[in-house]
Amino acid sequence: MAIFRLTYWFDIVDIDGDVARTSVNTNVSDIGVVGDLDTNSNSLGTPLAAATNGKVIGRGCTILLDRAQLVVGSSPPADAIYPKVETGARLHFSNANGSRASWTVPAPKEAVFKTGGERNTVDPAATLSANLITAFEAVADDVGGNALNLYQGGVRTGKHARRRPSRRV
């Protein structure tokens, strides 16, 4: 039987519109029914709502399936062109109903982007990008359950994302 790390979270807004997130961690085994997660979340959320001056505006849960360890001798993150997570490749999607979504890949590999003068644009023909697009379109839905299956393009995000490369003389 597998054991997974689960976090129930609650977003609470105050009178000034500021939002805080509070969470409760637990271990669960072989999660089979989403309704059980909802029931457990309610059992935490009801007394929380009664004990706060704020308003609970969102609740949910996150399941941690696995976590990599950075230990001596293991492979560290790559030191590459975009090694920092503050740089991203943001892919934009939509569907025939007009719903939209985006997915940002932190610290993307250089091969995700076009070459030459369009280095800030995601290259949908590149293998890495095509695999990301295919995976997103196969899984992501809008709130109505309609597939987000139309790729609309992608760009590099983060610090200096729009800066042109400097020319050395």
DSSP state of 80: S
Q: What is the pLDDT of residue 137?
A: 94
Per-residue pLDDT tens for 36-88? 888 889 999 999 998 999 999 999 999 888 877 767 777 767 777 777 888 89
**Cβ distance 19 to 11 under 8 Å?**
yes
Place of tokens 């030191």: 79
Q: What is the pLDDT of residue 83?
A: 77
Give the integer Cα–Cα distance in Å for 150 and 87: 24
Delimit the domains of the chain by residue range.
Answer: 3-64, 88-157
Give the integer Cα–Cα distance in Å for 94 and 155: 15
Q: Is the pLDDT of residue 30 over 50?
A: yes
Q: What is the pLDDT of residue 140?
A: 92
More confident residue, 29 or 12: 12
**Cβ distance 10 to 59 under 8 Å?**
yes
pTM above the 0.75 mark? no
Q: Is the pLDDT of residue 113 over 70?
A: yes
Q: Taking Cα atoms as reference points, which of 95, 101, 81 lies closest to residue 158?
A: 81
